[in-house]
Structure 1
Amino acid sequence: MARLTSRLLGLTQLLAVLGAVNGYVEMFSGLQARQINPGQLAAAYDYIVVGGGHSGLVIANRLSEDSGRSVLVVEYGYFDNNPAQVEPASATQYLARNLFNLSSVAQPGIGNRQGQVYAASVVGGGSTVNGMLFDRGSAEDYDIWERLGNPGWGWAGLLPYFKKSTTFTPPSPELTREYNITWDIEGAYGNGPIQATFPDWQWPGIKIQWKAWAEVGMPINIEGAAGDAFGAYWVPSNVDQQYRRSYARNGYWDPAANRANLKLLTGYRVNEVLFNANKRAESVTIQERGSANGAPTITVRATQEIILCAGWLHTPQILQRSGVGPRALLQQAGINVVADLPGVGSNLQDHPVSRAGFQYQTDVVPNPGSLNSNATFRTWADQQWQQRKGQWVLVMRWSPPRFPS
């Protein structure tokens, strides 16, 4: 009887695994079926969204809520349907297939060296490949934007939309008490599709770090996402309660993908926006990814609006190719000037990436190095992750980033 029970249990586990695999296959094949190919393109859509990243998928979701309006999203990248991409370890895996292959020009400030430029090329954009640390700027950062002549872009104007996007789930009471984890749901979060929480295990060394910061007088804040993003404060991760990546793809695209009025074309580049005689944007030209110059282009018309969501890198590029930008630059490139706007393509504010390594005289055990140096701890960590808890969820917080070669 015991042997029969054991065999039945083994069969049940096997069927569960096969069911999970089949679920992945059905889910991903369904998502592929919801896409269109160039032959299925209509001549016109009410709205054309250029870029299926962070903002593009949000806008497409909201616009397509009106079933009487047709929406087309054109995305240069593809879906990343690998289940590993939603696991926490993906936070340090910058896969070349999900990125543009770009380098900067020589930078005088760093000895004329060039650097790799990281920009996502995948459905979901940067939210598909980022480190999943759910943070915002300080209130002053946004207020400065508004003072520069951008009404509504201050902290008070943007906070309602920040809150609308996110649902925060507090960690366990035991972990909260042990590490003095703090947050401000009312000031920072709402009831949106993007999930945020803290892993249910923390490295013991964090306690020492907090004590050291307090001793040197660093400001300690309750919640950075509520506007006090300076000093030391706890930062949650944009993961769900199973500690899987919560991002634009599963937060905004998947719930809307079955709408008949919403279409997504992947693997195509938007070359330019075409304007009519009154300088109204009325259509886009698109071209298949990887095609050589001179390959056929397709023109698709928008009866209402064209929304550029191609990111900090390619939105100004598309505008310049369309004749919107600094006159001298456009004339140098042989592009007809539609609007002389010197600011297009200028004034980029990006953050540098640096790394510091320290050799401790003493350290608390376990620490991140224990995953490699202590086989017993590594076994325990693996067991914890099978239950969707433990320090593997913290890999994204402690492992140095591994950049693609």
Structure 2
Amino acid sequence: MSSKPLMVIQISKRLYSSASKKDVVIISAVRTPMGPFLGSMAPLTAPRLGAIAIEAAVERAGIPKEEIKEVFMGNVCQGGVGQAPARQATIFAGLPKSTICTTVNKVCSSGMKSVMFATQSLLLGDQDVILAGGMESMSNVPYYMKRGQTPYGGVNLSDGVVLDGLWDVYNKFHMGNCAENTAKKLNISRQQQDEYAINSYKRSAEGYKNNVYASELVAVNVPQKRGTPDLVVAADEEYKRVNFDKFGKLATVFQRENGTVTAGNASTLNDGAAALILTTSENAKRLNAKPLARVVSYQDGECDPVDFPIAPAVAIPKLLEKTGVSKDEVAMWEINEAFSVVVLANQQILGLNPDKINIHGGAVSLGHPIGMSGARLIVHLVHSLKSGEKGVAAICNGGGGASSVMIEKL
């Protein structure tokens, strides 16, 4: 055995203070409206929607397309989308064919994880400018038939939206049953969920009335039949598709007896895309680009798959500890409303101020294109925070996960 002394290398923990890292900044943040399932934007595939968001993000950043060296785009239901969805969106947007592209699938957290990957790459110095976001066309997700299935006696088809996007493979039931489980565990009633959902619709309507979404939206031109002008979709549609008089009478969906989750207090199926451009503060100066916000930090979390609705309550405390920011210092929380119970549960567990959560509405009233939503939450924070304020975006995902990102408005 060798008697030579061993060399011990101590690796220090990375701290997210401005003194110990490069500042990663967001110089552009846009999204398309979210169209209803099989509705106005259904003719466009996820990559085509992604291309619209990417092109608009570059245009609003005021930088050459050639400056973007890498793209991360979230996309969940990829059956029938075609090869390399992020690559399609990038090329359809007119970016150089030398652009590196990666499609990210972390279920509902996909769009947020894309932003996290971009941030990590910039911190490591791998790239100077990266575009990240998410896209989904739930309207175009196909039905699946197992290979080799004989047509004799009929065939069985599986809905790709459910199978790849909304199905808990561990308990073999819809994720809505996980929401029911959380409601039961935390004693959150149907009435509380309905009240929350109604408030979400009202907040979204008020947000549109006060023009709070204008700076983040890019209109989508949807081709029509030959000789007919394109349909221009310039705003979300779901928040207007509600009848409050019928809200309390809606049937529960996942548990008929003593159920609490309905079509009214859950998010809808939607189409849409979001894109952000990230760089370092030093490189923003070179590009003569105005930083809109700084990425303070990010954090994932995991729990039992059946408890996925409360996974943000795992990720968020770790994020706050990592940054040294208290929950009271957070000016805005954007927590994805996969179900109303998600926000109510995490608010209860973490002791958050409800007046700071989803103040302009959320996925219940606006929509939830699953590959896009994580990025959309960050986009909204970028445009809604005031200078110097910090905001946290968090989103749960199937399998028991959650992602969270903290930004500071500049």
Report the TM-score when normalising by structure 1. 0.27
Question: Which of the pair is proportionally richer in strand?
Answer: 2
Q: Which structure would you say has the larger RCO, counting Cα contacts within 8 Å and 6 or more residues apart?
A: 2
Q: Decide which structure has the larger Cα Rg and report it.
A: 1
Report the TM-score when normalising by structure 2. 0.26
